[in-house]
Structure 1
Amino acid sequence: MLTPQPPALLPETPMLQSTPDLPAYLQEKELFQELRDLIVSLPAEKGWVANYLHQYQGFWHTTRQLQGVLACQKHFQAHHTDILLVTTPKSGTTWLKAIMFALMNRARFPDPKQHPLLTNNPHVLVPFLELEYIDTQFPDFTSFISPRLFSTHLPFVSLPKSVEDSGCKFVYLCRNPKDTFVSLWHFTNKLKNLKKRLKIRLKRPLTNSGIVLEVRGLEEKPKALLRRLSEFLGCPFSQEEENYGVTDEILNLCSFDKLSNLEVNKTGKLPSGEENCTFFRRGEVGDSMNYLTADMLEKMDRITEQKLKSCGLSLL
């Protein structure tokens, strides 16, 4: 591992320019002055796709993503009814976004043949909170109905203080770190091509008990976890809904085969520039064994245990 070195010349160099083929959060242009002043003091490493990754509050961010993080921390005002889906990248975020949107909006969209998920990518319907702040310090959330549903890749320490103070609910998604790493590798390679043309278990709650739900084994017992989600979010299934098979309808609508074969997810793009198809790859449990050697697997286990040792977290 290279010793991180602050990119002292970064704010003034020609690297801060638009790269049309890259998503907005990977661009390095039009930075707020607040970020320009901060960035020279942060440890940095060369990024896989973007030029740099910057370490902030113990975690790594691309330059433009960090801009969104700072603005979000400063200006976002959480409501006590908000629901935040917290995930690491490539842990199953797209699937769980679809499930939570369908679950929470089933009364608004009772007909599965006329559902917004058929014409919109899940990342459009459930936006990443920090990415909404990349280009503006005051995004417009007035069109969001209560309870508002957001997602984030931010660690708890980097969330806006208003989130913790509000008492809003968190849904925390876990996946085996080795499988997550392999999925991230595939995703990054897709982004590189565009440029050219963990199960973890909580040992203690992140905040006050009762407002954090950990989701594990989604692919193993989806119906049971769907019911558990509905109860946690305050919208449990009625007996009538159970009798009419509403749980099965939601799981079918949000299945990998259904979502990945929709035209919007085969040919469409997100506002930030990514092709929707890049978010759909069937990630199998234990798939990392098909890509990593025994030594690599052992090393990742060792690093993971070391990193989590002082955090109250451990591998199952």
Structure 2
Amino acid sequence: MSSSSTKPSPAQANQDADADDAETYKELYQRCTDMVSSWPSRQGLSYLQLFRHEKGWYNGITPFVGTMVADARFAARSSDIVVATLPKSGTTWIKALLYATMHRREHPAAAAADDDDHPFNSLGPHECVKFLEYQLYKADEAPDLDVLPDPRLFATHAPFELLPRAVVAAATSGCKVVYVCRDPKDNLVSLLQFVNKYNAQNGRELVAVDAAVGFFCDGVSPFGPYWEHVLGYWHAHLAHPERVLFFRYEEMKRDPAAHVRRLAEFVGIPFTSPEEDGGAVDAIVRLCSFDNMVGLEATKGGSTQLTTTNVPNSAFFRRGQVGDWANHLSPEMAQRIDAITVAKFAGSGLQVYTENKVPDLDNLPDPRLFTTHLPFKFLPRVVVSPAPAPRCKIVYGCHDPKDSQFMNKYIAGSSNGGGGERVFPVDATVDFCDGKIPSGPYWEHILIYWRVHQAAPEQMLFFRYEEMMLDLATHLRRLAEFTGVPFSSEEEDDGVVDAIVRLCSFDNMTGLEDRCHHRGLVCWFWSRLLSTEKTIFQSAN
């Protein structure tokens, strides 16, 4: 990944590296500063003037320069761990949890209150786990990171495609990334309060809520747009779950102990039985809790230098209640954000909790019907356990890969108001073949469901879309048999099978009132003829 975030060829990468070696750190920093200064800029959801990267990302000049310099100079180790978040997404909390988990044996959490040497008694989480772009790669001098002992802990707010090239290159065999995302509405409100607190202290005009919503939806916020930032790490997690851990803030709040255990497993130091019996997990949760951290002297009296600004540590702590957005945003504002979230995340398999409650599924009558785009290995444990046969029944449908690629692009284009793209560029096909698609890679997704079907056909039904199109009535009968409600002779004689086929046909479904008047449903219906790709794909693909 180059400083401008474009992926260089090997020759270009070597040239860039040679150029980086030939210039001093200060020359590199100044060159990047001059570059960012030439980009378009505007006001946004920040106390900084926000510059627009060629890839559409926004941020202030100094963090952008730090990101680019880190890209050129950071040398990753296989033992490195990088925390990645958008601002105000639980960054301080996940830093504290990671640091306390990694160093629990030399600094037991249970003894922190009586241990004057525990780092949390003198340093805030942002000093224990420093940002690459805000704290380490600054204008004055290059950081000497080689002296840091393993494992080194770092943090970033940068999107996945702007991570240092050494980190991205290590995604298959090197350092690890821990990402936390948060409900977009709560993220917006928390960011707005942080910005306005700084503005009030410095005599600046406060950002109005309606203006903040506009900025956020347009992506004009630090390292925004929000949705592309989250999806970048989500796709990286799907491609390399052993290297990219993906947490949701809302789930962390509901069960922090479970997430601490997952975190420890991910970084390679799971809790031992004696640690579990001794309450080590709960001790870390208590140590890193909001109520404990805000009472520490390092929080009450300390500060952290971020770029050129000295920020009191207390400013980083906000109780962060799930669903607090309802106290600050109008229903119309919330609906606007939710609509973008649904459109942007469509087909990705990602669902961010957008309400301060867990769905009450126990009240649903049997049989309950659910759907998912997730690969088999990411299905809920209660669904797939005990292996190899899933506990409940699963109906899986696959589609010709060329048609599948087109439909993914078509739906994404329609969801974003673009009406769908009718011609595919070559790089879209390359991304598809490389598995860089929602819930991808395509072939691995299908193969695991196919193997489960072969091992337990009574629990897993496997359909091919093309065969369904050729004889839908037969497949409907197979579906009824599989789910335990076969068609009776009377139903067959009365034409029930054919009636269901007609009801669910494209021609009928596209004429229903909900489809005609609900814009969000339009993109889900398209006349899927077999071999559509023959009229869509460029010959180069």
Q: What interval of TM-score do these two structures reach, taking the shorter chain for normalisation?
A: 0.7 to 0.9
8 Å CA contact 2:28–2:69 kept in 1: the answer is no
Q: Could you say which residue in structure 1 is the equivalent of 2:124?
A: 121
Q: CA separation in 1, counterparts of 2:185 and 2:77?
A: 35
Q: Quick one: which of 288, 293, 300 aligns to 1:266?
A: 300
Are 2:246 and 1:214 aligned?
yes
Are 2:180 and 1:189 aligned?
no
Q: Could you say which residue in structure 2 is the equivalent of 1:35?
A: 32
Once the two structures are TM-superposed, the CA of residue 143 in structure 1 deviates from its matched residue by 4.1
Once the two structures are TM-superposed, the CA of residue 204 in structure 1 deviates from its matched residue by 3.5
Once the two structures are TM-superposed, the CA of residue 129 in structure 1 deviates from its matched residue by 1.2
CA offsets 1:274-310 (integer angstroms, 9 cap, x no match): 0111111111111101100000001111233444458
Q: Alpha carbons of 1:120 and 1:256: their partners in 2 closer, same or farther (altered >3 Å)?
A: same
Are 2:205 and 1:205 aligned?
no
Q: CA separation in 2, counterparts of 1:251 and 1:314?
A: 25
Are 2:30 and 1:58 aligned?
no
Q: Quick one: which of 181, 184, 199 aligns to 1:177?
A: 184
Q: CA separation in 1, counterparts of 2:182 and 2:126?
A: 19
Secondary structure class of the residue paired with 1:237 = coil
Are 2:274 and 1:240 aligned?
yes
Q: Which amino acid aligns with 1:42?
A: W
CA offsets 1:157-201 (integer angstroms, 9 cap, x no match): 000111011221111102101001100011111111232398968
The aligned runs of 1:146-157 (5 Å cut-off) are: 146-157=150-161
Q: Alpha carbons of 1:305 and 1:43: their partners in 2 closer, same or farther (altered >3 Å)?
A: farther
Q: TM-score, normalised by structure 2?
A: 0.50
Q: What 5-or-longer segments of structure 2 have no aligned partner?
A: 1-26, 205-225, 354-541
Q: Quick one: which of 265, 285, 299 aligns to 1:251?
A: 285
Q: What 5-or-longer segments of structure 1 have no aligned partner?
A: 1-29
Q: CA separation in 2, counterparts of 1:213 and 1:226?
A: 12
Q: Which amino acid aligns with 2:89?
A: S
Tell me whether 265-274 or 228-237 shows the greater mean CA deviation. 265-274
Tell me whether 41-50 or 303-312 shows the greater mean CA deviation. 303-312
Q: CA separation in 1, counterparts of 2:177 and 2:28?
A: 30
Q: CA separation in 2, counterparts of 1:241 and 1:146?
A: 22
Q: Alpha carbons of 1:55 and 1:310: their partners in 2 closer, same or farther (altered >3 Å)?
A: farther
What is the root-mean-square deviation of aligned Cα atoms in Å? 2.5
Q: Which amino acid aligns with 2:78?
A: H
Q: Alpha carbons of 1:173 and 1:249: their partners in 2 closer, same or farther (altered >3 Å)?
A: same
Secondary structure class of the residue paired with 2:64 = helix
8 Å CA contact 2:100–2:284 kept in 1: the answer is yes
Q: CA separation in 2, counterparts of 1:66 and 1:161?
A: 15
Q: Alpha carbons of 1:257 and 1:135: their partners in 2 closer, same or farther (altered >3 Å)?
A: same
Once the two structures are TM-superposed, the CA of residue 244 in structure 1 deviates from its matched residue by 1.1
Tell me whether 288-297 or 244-253 shows the greater mean CA deviation. 244-253
Name the % identity.
39
CA offsets 1:23-53 (integer angstroms, 9 cap, x no match): xxxxxxx994313432354232124554510
Q: Which amino acid aligns with 1:93?
A: T
Secondary structure class of the residue paired with 2:271 = coil
Q: CA separation in 1, counterparts of 2:36 and 2:297?
A: 40
Tell me whether 220-229 or 139-148 shows the greater mean CA deviation. 139-148
Once the two structures are TM-superposed, the CA of residue 67 in structure 1 deviates from its matched residue by 1.4
Q: Alpha carbons of 1:134 and 1:313: their partners in 2 closer, same or farther (altered >3 Å)?
A: farther
Bigger RCO of structures 1 and 2 (CA < 8 A, at least 6 apart): 1
Secondary structure class of the residue paired with 1:271 = strand
Structure number with higher helix proportion:
2
Q: CA separation in 2, counterparts of 1:230 and 1:32?
A: 36
Q: Could you say which residue in structure 1 is the equivalent of 2:525?
A: none
Q: Which amino acid aligns with 2:151?
A: P
Q: Could you say which residue in structure 2 is the equivalent of 1:103?
A: 101
Q: CA separation in 2, counterparts of 1:179 and 1:118?
A: 29
Q: CA separation in 2, counterparts of 1:36 and 1:219?
A: 39
8 Å CA contact 2:76–2:166 kept in 1: the answer is yes
Q: Quick one: which of 124, 138, 141 aligns to 1:134?
A: 138
Q: CA separation in 1, counterparts of 2:335 and 2:87?
A: 22
Q: Could you say which residue in structure 2 is the equivalent of 1:279?
A: 316
8 Å CA contact 1:31–1:64 kept in 2: the answer is no
Q: CA separation in 2, counterparts of 1:136 and 1:186?
A: 31
Q: Alpha carbons of 1:76 and 1:203: their partners in 2 closer, same or farther (altered >3 Å)?
A: closer
Q: Quick one: which of 257, 261, 266 aligns to 1:223?
A: 257
Q: Could you say which residue in structure 2 is the equivalent of 1:158?
A: 162
